[in-house]
Structure formats: structure tokens, C-alpha cells
A and B are shown apart, each in its own frame.
Chain A
Amino acid sequence: MTAKIYVTLKKSVLDPQGQAVARSLGRLGFAEVQDARIGKYIEVKLDGTRADVRDRIERMCRDLLANTVIEEYRYELGE
């Protein structure tokens, strides 16, 4: 099974990288860009039933993949 995990900065956390990207897009002529936020995408291949996998992914996110002081996570389970 594949888990697609998205780790993003909480809305309250300033993202200067995202701001720099938004400014660059503006300079390239994409005047409609108002903001950009940068996050991480992590693909994990693993074994187990869907119910077990959800529990394990939650723990992986809390223990290592995300720092919940500043980040949020969500995930999708694929085939």
C-alpha cells in the first residue's frame, strides 16, 4: 500500500520561502498570485490492513514526519 503524506506549515506560521516564491511568480507576470505556501510531500510504501495503516501513519507523522508545533499533516491511502 502507498500512503501519500502532505506536511504543511500551520496558517499562523510565517513562511518566508513561500513569500519569496509568490514574489518571483509575480515578477514572471503571474500578477494574480496573492500568496504561496511551501510544504512537503512524502510517499511511504508499507504493508498492513487499511485500519492498521491509518494508525501507524498517524504515529509516523507525530513522531517524525511533522513537527506539530509548527506543522499540520494529512494523508491519502493508495493501492
Chain B
Amino acid sequence: MNFAILRFPGSNCDFDALHVLTSVVPGATARFAWHKETELGSCDAVVVPGGFSYGDYLRAGAMAAHSPILGAVRAFAERGGPVLGICNGFQILCEAGLLDGVLVRNASLRFECRDVHLVVEGRPTHWTAAIPAGRILKMPIAHAEGRYLHAEIDVLEREGRVLFRYADAAGGVDAAANPNGSTNNIAGVASRRGNVVGLMPHPERAAEAILGSSDGRLLFESLVARGGRV
């Protein structure tokens, strides 16, 4: 399975994603796609990595959402192609309208950089189908704008499109486990069709035991194992 990893001026998790998808996850290959390109070329899935695309000018992800490559990503997503946005990639996909909602400044006003626990739930998607509901994943976060807001949060919840929630190590979802003030402890969501997924935590930084957790691999393995099908 071939992944295209987008690169913007200011992307800084692009090589982490490339490493995981060329050297860690069996069955995966990957290459970069520059933001000025208008075609993705042949690929089975797209990863929008973290960083500070275009310096986070105006709003996090706002400029990248209108870059040429996003037109190609939009067409790919409309054909049902799997797209994963990580951290700034999640912000970009929200700004581009490929995911609902928006990510704003952390309630703490701090750049939150630490390991968190997530509880997996919601409808199965390309990126989560192989992860049992209720499974607790450990991954790092590193962001200043991760407070998720949505105008119709009840609809999102009812449709099972909340995939990851900040929790404690035992899976308890409460305010103490919420690092950024995100609505309903939401850490990651899916599009209505389920092929586009975004999350603030970094699965690509938690894909090998030597890094303290390999839970993040499950997202990529989930996709590869099913050949891109849910």
C-alpha cells in the first residue's frame, strides 16, 4: 500500500511519517507530495502530517487548506480514498472542510507536549477498523491549538464520528484527562463517509516500542491490513 505524505513549508513531522511508513509498518511504502503539486499521482492513501504549515499564519491550517495539493486531496477523498490528518494535518483538513469543526487555542494557553491516553470508539473507519472499541492507546500530543469545537456536536456524536477521546490510563473520560479543553474530550474525528480521519495526538511518534509506545502503528496497520477497505 502506497502512502502520499504531504509537505508544506513548516511541516515538521513529515520525516517521522515517512520513517514509519517505509521502515516500520509492514506492507507500507511512502513518498512525499509537495504542496505546490496539483496531482497526488498514484497512491492508496494520504497522510497530512504535523508541523506549522505556512507558520500557522491567520489560523492554524488556514493557508495550507487552500494550497494546490489540497485540491487533489479533496478529489481523492471524494472518490473514497483514505486520508489521515495528524495534529496540524487535522487542523488543515478542518479548515479545508474535509472534516467538520475547528481547532482553537488550548484552554490552558500552553503548548501541551506530553504523552496522553486515548480511548477508541465510534464507527469503524479505514484507520480504526482493526482497533477494538474501548482500546486505550498511548501517544504524545504537541500542540497549542487542539481545543476541538463543532457547531452541532450532538450530531457528530450521534453519527459515531468521534473516534478518539482523551482519557486517563484506565480509560476514564473526564476533565482531568483533557489536555486542551476540547469539547467532550474529543481528540479525533471522522468524516461522514469515514474515509477522512483527523486527530491531534501523534500516532507516527508512537509506532515503535523504543519510543515508549507502539500503539500508533495500529492506525496504519488497520489500513494496510484491509487494503484500504473498511
Contact = CB atoms under 8 A, between A and B. Distances in A.
B58 interface: yes
Given A16-B105, A67-B95, 19 more contacts: A13-B104, A13-B149, A16-B106, A16-B107, A16-B108, A16-B109, A16-B181, A17-B105, A40-B58, A63-B66, A64-B66, A65-B58, A67-B59, A69-B101, A69-B102, A69-B149, A69-B150, A69-B151, A70-B104
B181 to A, nearest CB: 7
Contacts of B106: 16
Interface in A1-54: 13-14, 16-17, 20, 40
B58 A64 contact: yes
Interface of A: 13-14, 16-17, 20, 40, 63-65, 67, 69-70
Nearest to A69: B102
Given A16-B107, A16-B109, A20-B109, A70 B102 contact: yes
A79 B95 CA distance: 32
A14 B150 CA distance: 13
A40 B151 CA distance: 21
Contacts of A69: 101-102, 149-151
Contacts of B62: 64, 67
A16 to B, nearest CB: 5
Contacts of B109: 16-17, 20
A20 to B, nearest CB: 6
29 contacts: A13-B104, A13-B149, A14-B107, A14-B181, A16-B105, A16-B106, A16-B107, A16-B108, A16-B109, A17-B105, A17-B109, A20-B109, A40-B58, A63-B66, A64-B58, A64-B62, A64-B66, A65-B58, A67-B59, A67-B62, A67-B95, A67-B102, A69-B102, A69-B149, A69-B150, A69-B151, A70-B102, A70-B104, A70-B149
Interface of B: 58-59, 62, 66, 95, 101-102, 104-109, 149-151, 181
Nearest to A40: B58
B161 to A, nearest CB: 16
A66 to B, nearest CB: 9
The 10 closest A-B pairs by CB, nearest first: A69-B102, A16-B109, A16-B107, A70-B102, A67-B102, A69-B151, A67-B59, A70-B149, A20-B109, A16-B105
